[in-house]
Amino acid sequence: MALEEKREKRPPVTPMMIEEEAALRNGSRGLPPGPWAEAAGPRPRTTERHIAVHKRLVLGFAVSILALLAVTMIAVLLSVRFEECGAAADGPPRVGGNGSLSGAARQPPGAEQPPGRPEEEEAARGGEAAAPEEKTEEEEWQRRRELPPWTRPRLPRHLRPLHYNLMLSAFMENFTFSGEVNVQLEVRNASRHIVLHAHRLHIEAVRVAEDKLAGGVRVSRSFLYPQTQVFVVVLNRSLEVQRSYNLKIIYNGLIENELLGFFRSSYVLHGERRFLGVTQFSPTHARKAFPCFDEPIYKATFKISIRHQATYLSLSNMPVETSVFEEDGWVTDHFSQTPLMSTYYLAWAVCNFTYRETVTKSGVVVRLYARPDAIRRGSGDYALNITRRLIEFYEDYFKVPYSLPKLDLLAVPKHPYAAMENWGLSVFVEQRILLDPSISSILYLLDVTMVIVHELCHQWFGDLVTPVWWEDVWLKEGFAHYFEFVGTDYLYPGWNMEKQRFLTDVLHEVMLLDGLTSSHPVSQEVQQATDIDRVFDWIAYKKGAALIRMLANFMGHSVFQMGLQDYLTIHKYGNAARNDLWNTLSKALKRVGKSVNIQEVMDQWTLQMGYPVITILGNETTDNVIVISQERFVYDSDAKPKNPALRDNSYLWQIPLTIAVGNTSHISSEAIIWVSNKSEHHRIPALEEASWLLGNINQTGYFRVNYDIRNWRLLINQLTRNHEVISVSNRAGLIDDAFNLARAGYLPQNIPLEIIRYLSEEKDFLPWHAASRALYPLDKLLDRTENYNIFNEYILRQVAAVYLKLGWPTNNLNKSLVQASYQHEELRREVIMLACSFGNKHCHQQAATLISDWISSNRNRIPLNVRDIVYCTGVSLMDEDVWEFIWMKFHSTTAVSEKKILLEALTCSDDRNLLNRLLNLSLNSEVVLDQDAIDVIIHVARNPHGRDLAWKFFKEKWKILNARYGEALFMNSKLISGVTEFLNTEEELRELKNFIKSYEEGAAASFSRAVETVEANVRWQRLYKEELFQWLRKSLTY
């Protein structure tokens, strides 16, 4: 307490005593000036009067000292009592307590604490901050025209953590934990304030001491500031520059029943529900598990110790160094010290899983931990084996060894994301890592493979070299997403993932999102905590990957690889920004004699949102000369960017346009033209009357290409006569570009439908996959219109011949999971899906027969690669009994891959009562896992019979959904997009806008995209729907 408050609580005093205290504060010998000072001076003689005066003086001084001591003791006792009451009532944000600093971490929250040492208690209590003092301090910051450091969105830069010693006790019986963290701090600038992150923690005690031998630094006060999720320690004196200090904090918290921080999950084994605790710290949730400097720039080393019941085991980033067993059935695991790392990929888990193990050539121990029954069945063996091979691949590709002695893969039942790349302890949701070869499709195997490839890449891009700040999150996520395809090609060379599947699964998909004016640059400014969640979207992941792929292609893959090796070597165990990458890649180009300013080129792609559409026009007046122009591609030309600063942007890019000339039997080798102006003229050799032009060869560039109608006609004729003259990648690219250019109004609506006529002769998977993906949104725009059957009939005609030719797969339960021909099996699956979706009678009959056989025999003989299609088709065509059968199988199966497709099949019903029932059950965590509920709602929204039901359910349950998923990256944006993307009437648009007005809090960026998408849908219906139907009617009459 402050001195003024102490005076108010003292007994009445005389004016003399007040003057004495004033003198003490002013630094005199304890006596006021004037006669009293003279009386205290030396005298040659002492009279009785002088003796009496001296006695009164001594007596008064003694009384004042005794009173001061008494009041101090009372104040301390009241302070301790007030802190205990305040903590119990969750009162004002103050810190204190009389718990033992060394023993508190061993006790559950609320347990009785032994008394601490007096000097530790004094340091821990510091001094209670009274409201007037706090207000005075904030007023002082205002007078200096500065924000107090704890109110700013970023931590102040005057301190740097060097090392954390973290000791945790996990109490799984009541889902609480207690902890003691000791942080070694380096002082960069003198300050009286220590500000670090802490959120939803109860702080029991805090102490600050100079490093090693020096004594404590008195804590004046400390408090939590929830607005910025920080804990503030105010000291009596400033910390000295270039000195090292130790910050000790004792705290406790809950192992939450949610998806972030230190949370709990559960599973059932032999009829018994078992619990586990696991962490998810990225991007800003380490602060929920321990007080820390929770920004990626603050790298430090960590020494973790976890105390738990002996029936559990604990895992963390590093191996266990020693385990100390106690008589009461508890054990403390002490883990080895980590290398320098950021807080967001620190991790630990407390579980009773079992594991299997393998070792890489370089000696890295790889273990996969999962439920005992999953390990016993061998469900983790596939993931374990490819992880070993992938570590060896990355070590060879990057020429940088894996940095830790071990890597654990942890399969958990509940997790907000597919996986998290914690260094040395990667966590996966079970559906993305466990695989049963007897009941898993190629598509499921591919999904599991690519998630593992992605997370292992992060051990280098993200963990070893970390972005300086979240604005460049694409530096880790873009690379990991790109290497999903490179790494899978290493495992399965014949699948051509990077050259082919990348186009449909990444490039075409992200261009849909980035063609909206509500998009954002891949590198975007991040100020507030809410901005951090916003940058984790498909723009960072997929656009980042597409730009990296474009960069690798125009640099040359070998030079690009050499540049990445240099980048990782230079910045390992540190942080890097995008300019660090550009500079390293520019130097790599210089070493091979090329001079390209990578930063100048790539800043236009990373700092501007959207992408260009290149238009190539023949010049009618000059032979062999073409006009190339660029403009920003947008789906709705009437839409205006929400940010006024972006409305006048000129949107120019330096575009590496590859171009080739072809005719009926031959295509030339490609040439590269750098396009940097709005419009340019270029001479093209050998451009004859019957020749056609093709731009963006193999779609290595992140842009669309449009042509004059004459060139489109020539390309359509070429596809019809001999499509193999044009590469597989470019056939897929032409289909996707044509459908999207037409949707945005750049092309007549008939051009894309004319292009896909050639598909009856197409034998490759990729063009069919591109067509299927391009037709899907068009189908959803039309599926509730009165003339939908015309569109439906046209698509069935294109599919029929190939469907009959390919037929259905045979039952392959006894065959290898990876088929002899991945491309052939995926093509067959794609055609069957289109045939069943658009109502091919034979396809429907086959699906119904297979379902009926399963029900009657209770033996599932449905081919693995088409099970999801058969389940969905059967549920949509057959009666309620089939729905109930699938529901029963969903509950009884323990195979996670089967569980996923059974749940999705339930959303295919035409029965609105069943769809409503499923929607309501989706929010019951005991029935549907939290991360799966979103997929249920989205799949119901994709069903034309359930679209309005899902939209109504979403509006009614928004508060519950937002509370559950609001902090989890992707989840809210995925849900909002999935429920709204196919709304396409004026009434639905009005409902969406009114809903947003009612619930303005949270997910603003996602709702902006939703409005623009629905506006573009409504605009298309108004402008182009009738044009499309007119052409379809004419086409079907021939």
Structure tokens at 246: 């130790």
Provide CB contacts within 8 A for 837, sequence distance 6+. Answer: 779
Q: What are phi and psi of 302, to 5 degrees?
A: -130, 135
**Dihedral angle over CA of 1006, 1011, 1017, 1018, nearest 10:** 170
Q: Quick check: 314 and 306 in contact, CB under 8 A?
A: yes
- Coil, strand or helix: which one is 57? helix
| Separation of first and last alpha carbons in the chain | 93
How do strand 574-576 and strand 330-335 relate by DSSP bridges? unpaired
Secondary structure E strands in 387-530: 406-412, 419-420, 425-429, 465-467
How many other C-beta atoms can be found within 10 angstroms of the C-beta atom of residue 12?
5
- Tell me which residue of 402, 405, 363, 368 sits closest to 385, measured CA to CA: 368
The residues pairing with 672 across neighbouring beta strands, listed in sequence order, are 658
Which residue is it, tokens 């797969």?
Answer: 809
One-letter amino acid of 1038: Y
- Tell me which H or E stretch contains 911: none
Q: Quick check: 634 and 515 in contact, CB under 8 A?
A: yes
Query: Helix crossing, 788-806 with 1025-1037: angle to 10°?
Result: 50
- Tell me which residue of 207, 52, 46 sits closest to 124, measured CA to CA: 207
Distance CA 945, CA 660 (A): 46
The DSSP secondary-structure symbol of 473 reads: T
Distance CA 442, CA 625 (A): 48
Distance CA 993, CA 642 (A): 15
Q: Answer whether the bond into residue 283 is a cis peptide, omega within 30°.
A: yes
Q: Can you spell out the DSSP letters for 322-361?
A: EEEE-TTSEEEEEEPPP-SB-GGG--EEEE--EEEEEE-T
Q: What are phi and psi of 18, to 5 degrees?
A: -60, -45
Distance CA 456, CA 119 (A): 48
Which of 20, 180, 204, 455 is catalytic? The answer is: 455
Distance CA 850, CA 846 (A): 6
How many other C-beta atoms can be found within 10 angstroms of the C-beta atom of residue 365?
15
Structure tokens at 339: 């290398």
Show contacts of 151-155: CB within 8 Å, 24+ apart.
151/225, 151/227, 151/228, 152/228, 153/228, 153/527, 153/528, 153/529, 154/295, 155/195, 155/196, 155/197, 155/230, 155/293, 155/295, 155/298
- Coil, strand or helix: which one is 429? strand
- Tell me which residue of 651, 478, 692, 471 sits closest to 564, measured CA to CA: 478
Secondary structure E strands in 41-175: 159-171
Distance CA 157, CA 661 (A): 57
How many other C-beta atoms can be found within 10 angstroms of the C-beta atom of residue 14?
11
The residues pairing with 1036 across neighbouring beta strands, listed in sequence order, are none
Which residue is it, tokens 């023993």?
Answer: 103
Distance CA 716, CA 754 (A): 7
Structure tokens at 752: 């894309």
455 among known catalytic residues? yes
Distance CA 496, CA 489 (A): 6
Enzyme catalytic residues: 455
